[in-house]
Amino acid sequence: MGGTSEEQLSVVENLEDAGYLADSVETPESAMEICRKTRVDFILSALHSMEHFGLAGYRDIQELLPELRFILTVPQDRLSHLDFPGLNIAQVVPAPFLLRDLLKAVKRSSRSWKRYFRKLEPVSGRRPQC
């Protein structure tokens, strides 16, 4: 959650290219609807989204799915001021971030990422290393 529509689309596309099932939403309420319909390993959100919408919606999601983890992107200058009681923040990715750093955080936070990994055959004919 968070960022412009183009930024969200780019993150979703890059996660899908890496073999993850990903979706983009505008609000915690929209995320809650997805969480009710499908299994979600984590929610990626920008700090400014949490501040904009308030923590109540995020806490509602956490209450619905206590095992759910959040990956939070945070501007470098705000890293030392994080305090989100009641939320399972699994990873914090300093922003601006490189795609490889975001993918590392996603991989560490996804319980069953291999299950969703697409069985793509690279040009060399060898399977990707997981």
Whole-structure pTM value: 0.74
Task: Write down the pLDDT at residue 71.
Answer: 93
Ranges of each domain in the chain: 5-110
Decide: 78 and 49 in contact? Cβ < 8 Å.
no
Burial label, 72 (beta-carbon count in 10 A; 0-12, 13-18, 19+): buried
Task: Write down the pLDDT at residue 33.
Answer: 94
Task: Write down the pLDDT at residue 108.
Answer: 86
Task: Write down the pLDDT at residue 126.
Answer: 45
Task: Write down the pLDDT at residue 113.
Answer: 47
Task: Write down the pLDDT at residue 117.
Answer: 44
Task: Write down the pLDDT at residue 114.
Answer: 43
In angstroms, the CA 71 to CA 14 distance is 16
CATH of 5-110, one of 3.40.30.10, 3.40.50.11440, 3.20.20.70, 3.40.50.2300: 3.40.50.2300
Give per-10-residue mean pLDDT for the chain (130 aa): 57 89 90 92 90 90 92 90 86 90 88 46 44
Decide: 1 and 49 in contact? Cβ < 8 Å.
yes
How many CB atoms are located within 10 Å of the residue 58 CB?
Answer: 23
In the block, tokens 């959650």 appear at: 1
